[in-house]
Amino acid sequence: MMGMTITVEILDSPSPETDLEKVFSYFDYVDKKFSPYKETSEISKINRGELQERDWSEDMKTVFTLSTETNQKTNGYFDITAPNGKIDPSGLVKGWAIYNAAQILQKIGRENFYIDAGGDIQSRGKNSRGEDWSVGIKNPFHPEEIVKVIYIKNNEGVATSGSYLRGQHIYNPKNKTKPITEVVSLTVIGPNIYEADRFATAAFAMEQNGINFIENLDGFEGYQIDKNGQATMTSGFKKYTSINV
C-alpha cells in the first residue's frame, strides 16, 4: 500500500485479524486520498483543478495546514510543491498516516505493537522479549547490511530519508533543479513518527547542514551518512544504541 511494504505486529491483541484490518483499511483510505499517482485521488483532482479549496475533505485541509507549519519550522526546506509544479504531500503524509494508524490501535487498548511503513517506524511498549523495539539502520551503499542498531524508547518514532533506494525523490525547495548528492541517508528519532518523518525529509534537503538542524531540535536525534560513507550523529544519539529491558 502507498507504494511501499507495510508491516504491523501486535502482541497483546485477542483478535489480531480485526485490528490488522482496521490498520490496513486506514492505510488504504490514505492511499486513495493522497496518492499523486492515482487519477481518482483527491490530491490528483486538486492538481487538475477539479476541486476548489472549499470542497476539500477535512483530512486534506489538515495535511495542507501541517505542511505550511512544517515549511515555517524548517525555514522553507519542506515544501509540498514538487519541481513539476504539482502538489505532492507524500513527505508528510506517510509519517502522519503511520502515527494515525498507531493511534487507532492505542485507542482500542493495544499497548505493545509496531508499525513499519517503508522503513519508517512507530512503536509502542515492548517487543515479545519484553525489550525495547529494535530498528536497524541500513548501509545506503549495501542496503542488505545493517550499520547500526537502535532501540526505540518511550514510544518514539524513527524515520529515514535517503536517495539510495528510490533515487532522487527528495529535492531542495530552494534549488529544485539541483540533485541532493552530499548526503545519502539521514535517520531521525523523534517523539513520534509524524514528527520524525517531516523533519527527516526537510533535514535531508539541507544536505550537510541537516544533522545540525536535528541537533538543535529539542527531543530529536539523528544519524547521517554522507556520499563518502562518513557517519555523523547528534550528541544524544548514542543513548539509543543500548537496550533497556
Residue at 49 is within a domain: yes
Alpha-carbon distance of 33 to 54, in angstroms, equals 16
Residue at 78 is within a domain: yes
Burial class (CB in 10 A: 0-12, 13-18, 19+), 156: buried
Q: Is the pLDDT of residue 42 over 90?
A: yes
Specify the pLDDT at position 164. 58
Specify the pLDDT at position 144. 92
Residue at 52 is within a domain: yes
Output the average pLDDT for the chain.
93
Q: Which residues contact 149 (CB under 8 A, 6 or more apart)?
A: 134, 135, 136, 137, 241
Residue at 36 is within a domain: yes
C-alpha cell at 106: 492505542
Residue at 182 is within a domain: yes
State the pTM of this model: 0.94
* Segment 89-130, tens digit of pLDDT: 999 999 999 999 999 999 999 999 999 999 999 999 999 999
How many distinct structural domains can be found in the chain?
1
* CATH, residue 70: 3.10.520.10
Alpha-carbon distance of 21 to 172, in angstroms, equals 37
- Longest alpha-carbon distance in the chain: 53
* Segment 20-35, tens digit of pLDDT: 999 999 999 999 999 9
Could you tell me the pLDDT band of residue 244, with boundaries at 50, 70 and 90? low
Q: Residue 19 carries which side chain, given as an amino acid letter?
A: D
Residue at 1 is within a domain: no
* Segment 127-179, tens digit of pLDDT: 999 999 999 999 999 999 999 999 998 899 999 998 655 555 688 888 888 88
Residue at 23 is within a domain: yes
Q: Is the pLDDT of residue 16 over 90?
A: no
User: Which structural domain, as residue segments, surrounds residue 185?
Assistant: 6-241
